[in-house]
Amino acid sequence: PSVLDSFALLSGQLNTLNKVLKHEKTPLLRNQVIIPLVLSPDRDEEIMRQTEGRVPVFSHEVVPDHLRTKPDPEVEEQEKQLITDAARISPDAAQKQIQSLNKMCSNLLEKISKEERESESGGLRQNKQTFNPADTNALVAAVAFGKGLSNRRPPGSGASVQSGQPGAGAIIAGASGMQQVPMTGAPTQQQPMLAGVQMAPAGQPGKV
């Protein structure tokens, strides 16, 4: 009830104030001039509270800005010039200029949106993963530690191969799988060897 009573009181006062302001004998407020009566360079807490901390002091520096009802003379001159230039343009020319400006703005907005879409798609492409971490880890483990590799030897390798000498190992493996066959007519004579194969001397028949 107290809130309703206060609201009714305020509503009545506002209606009365509106009637007074709308009365024909009431002068227009825009024709009235506000004159500051007290100017002080000191900090005013009441003004701080009323302006929510925007105006700490009410001095001769801030009064012209806060009590101004007209723009600066330079701005006023620019506005007058713009109004004069606008009055010289015919309605058809003005409509054409408006259409051209709208077209330029729409093209610019389209380009900006296209650039944004391309940048977003490029970012998505850069963030997309192009490899499988499990496969990479398995490959590194196989190369570094031999994990997952088979221990079986290929068939036919009867002799061990020395590390670091693949050529010698191949010769040894080939020689171990072959036997020397004595040649007819020279059982005790040493025959020359070529790559693990006994060759018959010139003029003597034989077989390998």
The dihedral sign for the CA sequence 109, 112, 118, 121: negative
What's the whole-model pTM score? 0.27
Distance CA(112)–CA(105), nearest Å, equals: 10
The full set of domain ranges for the chain reads 71-118
Query: Which one-letter amino acid corresponds to residue 197?
Result: V
**Using alpha carbons only, how large is the chain's radius of gyration in Å?**
53
Cβ pair 184, 206 in contact under 8 A: yes
- The segments of the chain whose pLDDT lies below 70 read 123-129, 152-208
CA distance 25 to 109: 54
The CB-side HSE value for 201 (13 A sphere, CA atoms) comes to 9
Token look-up 């066959």 returns 181
Cβ atoms of 47 and 58 closer than 8 Å: yes
Specify the pLDDT at position 166. 47
Q: What is the pLDDT of residue 156?
A: 59
Q: Would you state the pLDDT for residue 80?
A: 93
